[in-house]
């Protein structure tokens, strides 16, 4: 009883401090930006931010892993290969040039898009923007460098199988989506990557990397008028192309509960994840669901973390999240525990999850979560890199400004009745899917109670 009283006091003090913060009460709006489309179809976003002398440049292309077909890892290999030499510069020359200027080049490949980004000092833009343009539009695809990169990547994939948390998310997506493109593992696995050749990469690049399938986003310390002229001159030669898009909307979720039991013979812990249908990125109740999920499993004082970590000591942390894409999504709860407490932890996670239906959300809990979410929201978009990422997300998922500008209003309008109705209608309750990674011989009898079992080995299973 004393512990609960202290927790309530702490919660109320934290709530008061957050409410008094100007950030929590600020009605955050996306900063002004200019959007245009060049004659070749390239979409341009320009957002001036003069607080620091930095510029973040990003090209986002709809060339993610949904386009891999059965060649899992092809999109990822292609995105990484852009920096292996471009234009007249070799890989080493590019690395030395960026190191000299303190520039940071990154490539991030997801299911639906690939983002190639460069962070530089604003004074260096005339020198480095043409180099960045060549990386995206004129890659060399040097065979020697590609073979070295591919070998390193295969080694990394093999090593990743040693850690359950490196593979369990992709395993769940494959289990849930099956042969749908959203089930494609972005990283691939060693067997599929081994079969990918440089010609496959060149063909993938030719099919998807084009002006009309990309957006150029520049955020930072520059003048829009001058930057517009520069961009038109540098990127006018990038060709457009006919893009063969994959079908994403057609999907039937599993009609019964299934269990993938992935054996790791030397495991002393069990890592598990379970869930079901989620929401697309443009779902009308996305903000409300973010608040509700904060209560369930997206902060330290969430129901799941309280029950599985604080109250029972079964794990160091338990979380829940929506994985949303342009057309579909899923919802998952995940954690890990020592192998002897696998089913105690799993049952407690399920029981806690069912509080959404059995007990519901009260006003004090909802108000706390709303304040927490509003307090977290604006700081996510403070730097030029964060704002460039925001514009990238908006373009790749076809979201408009209301995605940001209506956030505070949507949080404030959420009351207890609406929250409980949304929670009970959207969160998946039946036909949940389960993936457990651990010592299968000690788990397989009890795990039968959760669904139809498929057993596999962590080092050899294929997506």
Q: How many domains would you assign to the chain?
A: 2
d(Cα 93, Cα 353) in Å, to the nearest integer?
53
Task: Say how far apart CA 463 and CA 259 lie, in whole Å.
Answer: 15
All residue ranges of the chain with pLDDT < 50 are 1-4, 6-7, 9-25
- 51 plus 111 within the same structural domain: yes
CATH code, 410: 3.30.830.10
In this structure, the answer to whether residues 283 and 427 fall within a common structural domain is: yes
Q: Residue 321, Cβ neighbours under 10 Å: how many?
A: 17
Q: What is the rounded distance in angstroms from the CA atom of residue 10 to the CA atom of residue 234?
A: 56
Q: Could you tell me how far CA 321 lies from the centroid of its own chain?
A: 11
Same domain, 201 and 126: yes
In a domain, 289, yes or no: yes
Which structure tokens are listed for 124? 């260096």
303 conformational bin, left if phi > 0, alpha if psi -120 to 50, beta if neither: alpha
Q: Is 61 helix (H, G, I), strand (E, B) or coil?
A: strand
> Which tokens hold the place of 218?
């520049």
What pLDDT does residue 214 have?
Answer: 98
CA distance 108 to 66: 14
- Judge if 323 and 180 occupy the same domain: no
Pick from 295, 214, 266: which is nearest to 442 by CA? 266
Spell out the residues 6+ positions from residue 106 whose beta carbon is closer than 8 angstroms to its own.
Answer: 115, 116, 117, 118
Contact 28, 378 (CB under 8 A): yes
Same domain, 217 and 295: no
**One domain for residues 327 and 279:** yes
Per-state percent for the chain, helix, strand, coil, to nearest 5:
50, 20, 30
For position 18, what pLDDT does the model report? 43
What does each C-alpha distance from 407 to 311, 354, 457 come to in angstroms? Answer: 33, 27, 44
189, 284: one domain: no
Establish if 98 belongs to a structural domain: yes
pLDDT digits (tens, 9 = 90+) for 270-318: 999 999 999 999 999 999 999 999 999 999 999 999 999 999 999 999 9
Q: Is residue 20 part of a domain?
A: no
Domain identity same for 213 and 322: no
Q: How far apart are CA 428 and CA 448, in angstroms?
A: 21
pLDDT per residue as tens digits for the range 78-121: 999 999 999 899 999 999 999 999 999 999 999 999 999 999 99
Residue 220 region by backbone torsions, left for phi larger than 0, else alpha for psi between -120 and 50, else beta: left
pLDDT at 26: 52
The predicted structure's pLDDT at residue 222: 97
Domain assignment present for 2 = no
5 within a domain of the structure (yes/no) = no
Which residue range forms the structural domain that includes residue 117?
34-236
Q: Are residues 51 and 94 in the same domain?
A: yes
Residues 390 and 279 in one domain: yes
> For residue 246, what are the CA distances in angstroms to 176, 181, 240, 335?
18, 8, 18, 33
Cα 45 from Cα 34, distance rounded (Å): 6
Name residue, tokens 């934290």: 14
Residue 249 lies in a domain: no
pLDDT at 134: 97
Say yes or no: 204 and 297 in one domain.
no
For residues 185 and 317, state if they share a domain. no
pTM of the model: 0.90
Residue 28 domain flag: no
Query: Which residues are bridge partners to 270 per DSSP?
Result: 337
Q: Return the ∠ at Cα 377 (arms to 306 and 310), rounded to 5°.
A: 10
- C-alpha–C-alpha distance, residues 217 and 146, integer Å: 28
Domain-embedded: residue 189: yes
Type and span of the H or E element at 246: none
| Alpha helices per DSSP H over 28-124 | 74-81, 91-101
């Amino acid at each position: 009883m004393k512990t609960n009283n202290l927790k309530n006091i702490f919660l109320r003090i934290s709530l008061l401090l957050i409410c008094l913060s100007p950030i929590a009460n600020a009605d955050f709006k996306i900063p002004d930006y200019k959007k245009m489309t060049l004659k070749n179809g390239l979409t341009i976003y320009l957002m001036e931010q003069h607080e620091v002398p930095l510029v973040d440049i990003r090209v986002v292309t709809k060339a993610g892993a949904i386009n891999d077909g059965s060649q899992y890892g092809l999109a990822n290999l292609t995105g990484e290969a852009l920096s292996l030499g471009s234009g007249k510069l070799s890989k080493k020359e590019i690395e030395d040039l960026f190191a000299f200027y303190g520039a940071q080049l990154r490539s991030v490949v997801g299911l639906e898009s690939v983002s190639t980004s460069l962070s530089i000092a604003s004074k260096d833009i005339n020198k480095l923007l043409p180099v960045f343009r060549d990386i995206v539009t004129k890659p060399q695809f040097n065979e020697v460098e590609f073979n070295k990169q591919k070998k390193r990547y295969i080694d990394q994939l093999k090593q990743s199988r040693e850690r359950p948390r490196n593979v369990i998310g992709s395993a769940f997506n494959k289990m849930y989506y099956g042969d749908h493109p959203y089930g494609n593992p972005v990283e691939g696995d060693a067997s599929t990557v081994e079969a990918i050749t440089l010609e496959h990469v060149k063909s993938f690049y030719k099919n998807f990397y084009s002006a009309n399938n990309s957006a150029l986003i520049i955020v930072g310390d520059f003048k829009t008028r001058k930057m517009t002229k520069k961009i038109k001159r540098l990127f006018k030669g990038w060709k457009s192309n006919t893009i063969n898009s994959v079908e994403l909307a057609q999907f039937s979720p599993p009609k019964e509960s299934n269990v993938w039991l992935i054996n790791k013979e030397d495991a002393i812990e069990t890592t598990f994840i379970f869930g079901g249908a989620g929401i697309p990125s443009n779902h009308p109740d996305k903000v409300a669901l973010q608040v509700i999920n904060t209560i369930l499993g997206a902060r330290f004082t969430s129901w799941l973390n309280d029950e599985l970590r604080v109250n029972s000591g079964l794990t160091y942390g338990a979380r829940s999240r929506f994985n949303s894409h342009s057309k579909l999504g899923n919802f998952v709860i995940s954690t890990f525990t020592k192998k002897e407490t696998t089913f105690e932890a799993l049952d407690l996670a399920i029981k806690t999850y069912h509080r959404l239906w059995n007990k519901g959300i009260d006003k004090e809990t909802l108000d706390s979560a709303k304040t927490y979410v509003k307090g977290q929201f604006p700081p996510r978009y403070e730097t030029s890199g964060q704002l460039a990422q925001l514009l990238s997300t908006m373009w790749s998922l076809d979201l408009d400004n209301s995605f940001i500008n209506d956030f505070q209003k949507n949080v404030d309008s959420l009351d207890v009745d609406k929250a409980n109705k949304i929670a009970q209608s959207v969160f998946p309750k039946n036909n949940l899917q389960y993936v457990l990674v651990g010592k299968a011989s000690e788990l397989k009898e009890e795990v039968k109670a959760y669904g139809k079992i498929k057993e596999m080995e962590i080092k050899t299973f294929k997506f």
